[in-house]
Amino acid sequence: MYPQQIHSYLLQFFKENNCQIVSDNDHFINVQLTIEMDKKIMNRPFYWKYLESTNGVPDPAQLTFITDKNKLDENIKGEVVHIGSPRLSQLFQVTKELGSFVQMYEKVNDGLETKTILTPWLGVNYKVSYYSDQTKETLYSLGINLMTGELKEAFQESLYEMDLDVNMPDNTFNLPYIIKPLRALERLDAVIENTIQQDDHTWAEEAKMRWKKDREVLEHFYEGVEDKPDCYETEKEAMEQQYEARIKIEIINGGLFYLK
């Protein structure tokens, strides 16, 4: 996941959760949290409990997230957010808790005399994690036209350029989908699986080599010991779990989008 993808994700996340974007630079974001979002991500329950018991004035936090510290010219203080960072993982989890599926409509000009036709798209954001003794995570955003089956990569990024609303506009005609969303999801899952198959998997072979070296060290340490202690098997099993190559596919969120 590239810094610009993380930047776009943060912007969309906070905008959709009604948090004010105080400033938006290419490499950092300053955001004013709502009371609800402060309670969800700032981990200060005693503050809010005390405030509510005393009828105090709420003061939700204002945060600065740095998405690409290598390109910062100014002396900006903030929290560096990158793939694998606790904060980004936390926001992924909050997204799931708040609702992983939305239905939205592209806004149209109210002054038009004829109705605008909106086409249904299914959009899904995936996270693919590669696990061994090292971890790599990648985000994929895919969309599929439920009329034609057309696939679109970087679908989430394309939505940022549109004006969307959860309410259906009055002067539109929404085409009924031909491809059922469940069937469309199966197609997108297949695209992700094919992408993984085509990916470079030398990381798994390299993990095996590191596992082999560490196992040789372990065997050398216990060389000549006939009755190996229980810790030998424990270390060997822990090492096997540490270096085992695994791939996990998760759906972060998705939605049905009616677009012009």
* pLDDT of the residue at 15: 85
pLDDT digits (tens, 9 = 90+) for 176-220: 989 999 899 999 999 999 999 998 889 888 888 988 998 888 888
Residue 145 has pLDDT above 90, yes or no: yes
Q: Is the pLDDT of residue 140 over 70?
A: yes
- Tell me how far apart the terminal alpha carbons of the chain are, to the nearest angstrom: 29
**What would the pLDDT profile of 63-91 be if each residue is shown by its tens digit?**
999 998 888 777 888 999 988 889 988 98
| pLDDT recorded at residue 1 | 58
Average pLDDT on 225-229 reads 84
CA angle, 23 as apex, 17 and 26 as ends, to 5°? 100
- pTM for this structure? 0.66
Domain limits, the chain: 3-98, 101-200+247-259
> Higher confidence at residue 130 or residue 72?
130
Q: How far apart are CA 84 and CA 235, in angstroms?
A: 26
For range 220-229, the mean pLDDT: 84
Mean pLDDT in residue range 1-16: 82
